[in-house]
Structures are given as C-alpha cells and as structure tokens.
Amino acid sequence: MAELSATAFNLQAVATAQLVVDKDKTITIAPQLDMQVLKRHVVPGQQVQKGQPLLTIGGADIAAAQADYVNAATEWDRIKRMSKGTISASQRMQTEVNAELKRAILQSVMMSKQQIAELATSPGSIGQFQLLAPINGRVQQDVATVGQVLTAGTPLMQLTDESYLWVEAELTPLQADQVNMGTDVLVRVGSRTRDGVIIGRSHEINSQTRTEQVLVRMANPGHDLHAGEFAELYLAANQGAEPLGFIVPDAALTRSGDGDWQVFIEQDGGFSAVEVSVVERQRGLSFIRGLVPQTRVVVSGAFFLASEQAKSGFDIHNH
C-alpha cells in the first residue's frame, strides 16, 4: 500500500542517482587517544540504541587521561570548598581550567558525562571503559578487532540512523537550472518510489561528465533502502504544467472489464477498484489522474485483485 500525495512530476526529466548515508544522522566512532580494543559488544549491521555498549577500550594513554582527570577534579573540588580569599583568583581559575581540560580529553575519547562523573568517585575503574552508542543507528564500517592497538583518531566503526537517507544525483545544466533548494522530487529505487526534497547543489559542473551534483533528503521509515543502492531522480514539471496527478508503479494498474485503466484503493476495510486516466508512462512508472490526495493505493498485487474481481463479477461502477 502507498498513500498518494499530489505531484506534478515529469517522467521524462530523469537523472541517475545513488543513495548515501544522511551525514546529519551519521557518527564516526573515533576516540582521540591511542587505544586498545579489549572487547566487542556488537556485530556489523546490528541496529543499536543510544547508550548501548559498542566496545570496551583501554590502554596506557586512556588510563593516564582518566587518572589526570580524577586528580584534577579532586583538586578543583577541594579548592571550591575553600573560604573566599584563601587562594588568589588566578589560582582558582587555573585549577578550574585544568579540571575542565582533563574532562574535555575524556570526552574526546567518547566517554559519556555519566561515565566521567562516576570515574571521579570510583577511580578503581581507571584503565578502560565501555564506549556507548551516541545515537540510535546501525553499525557500519566496523573495523575494530579485539587486542588491536590503534592510534588516536582511528575510525573504529560508523553508526548511521537509516530513517533518512541522502540521494546524490547528477543533473545536466538544463535540469539543474530548473531546481532550487526545497524543490520536491521523486526518487525511484527498483520498484519503490519515495518523495524527496532538494537540500543542496554543488553549483559546479563536473569537467568530465558535464553534470552538476544535487543532494536530496529522503525519508526511509522502514529502513528498507540502503546506502549504495542506485536510483533514478524525477524532477518536478515546469510551472504552468497540467493539473496535478499521481505517480504509481505500472504494477498498480490493471484493466477493468470495459478496458479502462483502474487501480485498487483501500476503503472500508477492503479494496475497491477505481478507474483512472493514464497521462504518461515511462520507465515502469505511470502518471495518473482521477484520485484525491492521501488515497491509499495497492501498488503490488493489483493483478491478483483484478483476477478475483473478474471471478466474482464485481461491478466497479456499483451498478
């Protein structure tokens, strides 16, 4: 089933594209100190929740940074309890800055605020910590191996929230001139179509392909599409085009008993056949009219419903 939204797309204005991760919803796990991977808690491709352990890491540099923070935090706590005037303002400031610096170093290795706070009261855990997922997402580009010693900044894995994806499309200069930030587009991946919106343009023509790269943001609520898949991008029709209609896969269309095009819609807990007019067909998609927005249309299995309709002798005109 698919819910229709009014569109005015040109099925002939198409560009090649590829799905990529939404960089606004992707985080690279790369602690900023030399480290050793002590234990793994996830596997590649696993969906994880925010706060879930990914790896246990440790090493000499991490132990030293944790010890430095405990000492600096303890000293700052002692200074804060002193009466005003016991030490100079500059000494007080220096102690506070030193404690915050040591805290920032631990944050750079991706220790959480809670882990840092607990470290100050339980220094016995110095030497290692569990690296927790900072967002809900899927584990990708996982290269961490138990026992491996890695330098500061080495990417261990990537977490990606797949509820949204970006689409990188290559447009001809003529096509690019017809789009702007916020322009609605239609993305087709195999037999599936999704609405998208343009969020960026390179404003630079590739010297080899003579195309301009355009970036589209697309919802992926079922996580059924993945970065790396090829796609086609359909652009909106020019202003002043014919009245709005809808784009559906060709598989949603069948012929009625009198030879007219029809689709099946969800209605009153069942399915009803509704005649539509087909304006244009291109690349496995059809531009149709005769429905209202938010109608839920059967996009696969329509042939089966049409067969059942023919067997039962059901009249779509309700005569």
SS (H, E, C) the chain: CEECCCECEEEEEEEEEEEEECHHHEEEECCCCCEEEEEECCCCCCEECCCCEEEEEECHHHHHHHHHHHHHHHHHHHHHCCCCCCCCHHHHHHHHHHHHHHHHHHHHCCCCHHHHHHHHHCHHHCCEEEEECCCCEEEECCCCCCCCEECCCCCCEEEECCCEEEEEEEECHHHHCCCCCCCEEEEEECCEEEEEEEEEEEEEECCCCCCEEEEEEEECCCCCCCCCCEEEEEEECCCCCCCCEEEEEHHHCEECCCCCEEEEEEECCEEEEEECEEEEEECCEEEEECCCCCCEECCCCHHHHHHHHHHHCCCCCCC
Note the Cα 223 to chain centre separation in Å.
9
Q: Tell me, yes or no, whether 71 and 127 share the same domain.
A: yes
What average pLDDT does the segment 265-280 reach?
A: 82
Q: Is the pLDDT of residue 196 over 80?
A: yes
What average pLDDT does the segment 193-204 reach?
A: 91
Whether 318 maps to a domain, the answer reads: no
Residue 318 confidence (pLDDT): 46
Q: Tell me, yes or no, whether 137 and 42 share the same domain.
A: yes
Domain that holds residue 79: 28-158
Q: Tell me, yes or no, whether 143 and 187 share the same domain.
A: no
Q: Report residue 251 as tokens.
A: 């598989």
Q: CATH number, domain at 300?
A: 2.40.420.20
| pLDDT 10s digits, 160-177 | 999 999 999 999 888 888
Q: Tell me, yes or no, whether 36 and 116 share the same domain.
A: yes
At residue 244 the predicted structure's pLDDT band, cuts being 50, 70 and 90, is low
Residue 243 confidence (pLDDT): 55
Q: Is the pLDDT of residue 49 over 90?
A: yes
Q: Is the pLDDT of residue 217 over 90?
A: yes
Residue 228 confidence (pLDDT): 93
Whether 286 maps to a domain, the answer reads: yes
Q: Tell me, yes or no, whether 7 and 124 share the same domain.
A: no
* Residue 27: Cβ within 10 Å count: 16
Whether 317 maps to a domain, the answer reads: no
Residue 317 confidence (pLDDT): 44
Of 107, 139, 158, the one marking the end of a domain is 158
Of 137, 158, 179, the one marking the end of a domain is 158
Whether 227 maps to a domain, the answer reads: yes
Tell me how many domains the chain contains.
3
Beta bridge partners of 39: 56
Of 132, 158, 184, the one marking the end of a domain is 158
| pLDDT 10s digits, 15-40 | 899 999 999 999 999 999 999 999 99
At residue 287 the predicted structure's pLDDT band, cuts being 50, 70 and 90, is confident
Q: Do the beta carbons of residue 168 and residue 17 sit within 8 Å?
A: yes
Q: Tell me, yes or no, whether 133 and 36 share the same domain.
A: yes
Q: Tell me, yes or no, whether 150 and 172 share the same domain.
A: no
Q: Tell me, yes or no, whether 218 and 153 share the same domain.
A: no
Q: Do the beta carbons of residue 231 and residue 19 sit within 8 Å?
A: yes
Q: Which residues contact 89 (CB under 8 A, 6 or more apart)?
A: none
Q: Is the pLDDT of residue 83 over 50?
A: yes
Q: Tell me, yes or no, whether 32 and 117 share the same domain.
A: yes
Q: CATH number, domain at 191?
A: 2.40.30.170
Nearest-Å Rg of the Cα atoms of the chain is 29
Q: Which residues contact 295 (CB under 8 A, 6 or more apart)?
A: 3, 4, 265
Whether 116 maps to a domain, the answer reads: yes
- CA nearest 30: which of 141, 122, 115, 118? 141
